[in-house]
Amino acid sequence: MGKAIEHEPVKLVIGILFSDERRYTEARKRLLNLYGPVDYECEPFVFTFTHYYDEEMGLPIFRTFLSFERLIQPEALVDIKLTTNALEEELAFEGRRLVNLDPGYMQMGKFILATTKDQMHRIYLARGIYAEVTLHYQKKSWQSWPWTYPDYASEMYKKILLHIRELYYAQLKAIGGNIPHRATVSQKKPS
C-alpha cells in the first residue's frame, strides 16, 4: 500500500486578459497583495487568438502572465480561483468583465489551469472548481493536448511557460525538492 505524503509546493501562475489598463493595474496590485511578489511578468501583448471575449471586454484586449515567488500547495488553487473570480466581478463595469484572471499552477511535468466549467477531461476539486492539465512537459518542451486552448498551445505561450518552469526548477533545487531525473530545463530564455 502506498503511503500518503504531502505534495511538494507548486508554482502559482496567473494569466491575465484585460481591456482596461486602470482595472488591470488594480487587479495586479491586489494579486501581489494576496500572493506576494512576482518573479516573472511579461510585457502585455495584444490578444488575437480568439474573438470569444471581444463583445464582453471590448477591443483591444491584452494578455500578460504573472508567476509568483512564493510557492503554494496545489489545493490552494480552489481558493485562488474563487478569489480571482470575485476580483473579476468587483472590477467589472455594468456587468462586463474588463479583466479576466486565469489562475493555475506549474509542476515540472505539467501545467494546470483552474476553471468553473466541467468537461470530460477536467477533475472536480471542490466548491465548483475544476482542474485541467492544459500542457505536459515532454522532450524538453511543453506539449499540448487535443483540448488545450489554442493560445496555450501556441509557441509564444510555451516559451513564456518554459521560462517560468526554469524559475520553478531553480526554486525546487534550492529547497531540495523532488526533481524528476528527466526534467531537464532549456538554457534559452524566451525571445
What is the pLDDT at residue 99?
Answer: 98
* Location of C-alpha cell 482595472: 23
Q: What does DSSP say about strands 62-68 and 38-41: parallel, antiparallel, or unpaired?
A: antiparallel
Handedness of CA 133, 17, 171, 163 (dihedral sign): positive
* pLDDT for 151 beyond 80: yes
Length of the chain: 191
Residue 165 corresponds to which cell in the numbers above?
Answer: 518552469
* pLDDT for 6 beyond 90: no
What is the pLDDT at residue 42?
Answer: 96
What is the pLDDT at residue 2?
Answer: 87
What mean pLDDT value characterizes the chain?
Answer: 93
Q: What is the CATH number of domain 11-174?
A: 3.30.70.260
Across the chain, the runs of DSSP E, i.e. the strands, are 11-18, 38-41, 45-46, 62-68, 99-106, 110-115, 123-126, 129-138, 141-144
**144 close to 55: Cβ distance less than 8 angstroms:** no
